[in-house]
Amino acid sequence: MANNLFRCEAKDSHGDVYLYGIIGSAFDGVSAREGNDSIKALGDVETLKIRVNSRGGDFDDGLAIRSMLMDHSASVSVAIDSIAASAATVAIAIPDIDITMAKGGRYMIHEPYSGIVGRADEMRKRADVLDGVRDEMVSIYTTRSNLPESQIAEMMAAETWMHGEQAVEHGFVTSSSDSVAVAACIDDEALKQFRHIPDDILKSLSVEHAMAEGPISRCVDCGEVCQDCECEREGITYTPPSDLRPLALQAEIAIERAAADQY
Condensed to tens digits (0 to 9), the pLDDT of residues 27-83 reads 778 899 999 999 999 999 999 999 999 999 999 999 999 999 999 999 999 999 989
In percent, the amount of the chain with pLDDT more than 70 equals 74
pLDDT score recorded for residue 240:
41
Which amino acid, 221? D
Which amino acid, 137? M
DSSP string, 95-148: TT--EEEEET-EEEE--------S-HHHHHHHHHHHHHHHHHHHHHHHHHSSS-
> Three-class SS of residue 176?
strand
Pair 21, 248: CB distance under 8 Å? yes
* CA-to-CA separations, 197 to 102, 200, 207, in angstroms, rounded: 18, 8, 17
In percent, the amount of the chain with pLDDT more than 90 equals 55
- Phi and psi torsions of 247, nearest 5°: -55, -35
Give the up-direction half-sphere exposure of residue 71: CA atoms within 13 A in the CB hemisphere. Answer: 9
Summarised one tens digit per residue, pLDDT across range 122-142 is 889 999 999 999 999 999 999
pLDDT level of residue 262 (50, 70, 90 thresholds):
very low
- Compare 154 and 116 and report the one with higher pLDDT: 154
Q: Which helix (H) or strand (E) holds 179?
A: strand 175-180
pLDDT score recorded for residue 200:
74
Pair 80, 100: CB distance under 8 Å? yes
pLDDT score recorded for residue 206:
47
Summarised one tens digit per residue, pLDDT across range 208-260 is 454 444 555 554 444 455 555 555 544 444 444 443 344 444 444 444 545 55
Least confident of 13-22, 173-182, 186-195: 186-195
Average pLDDT, the chain: 80
Q: What domains are defined for the chain?
A: 7-187 (3.90.226.10)
Entry field: residues in the chain: 263
In the DSSP assignment, the letter for residue 241 is -
Q: Helices 59-71 and 32-40 sit at what angle, rounded to 10 degrees?
A: 20
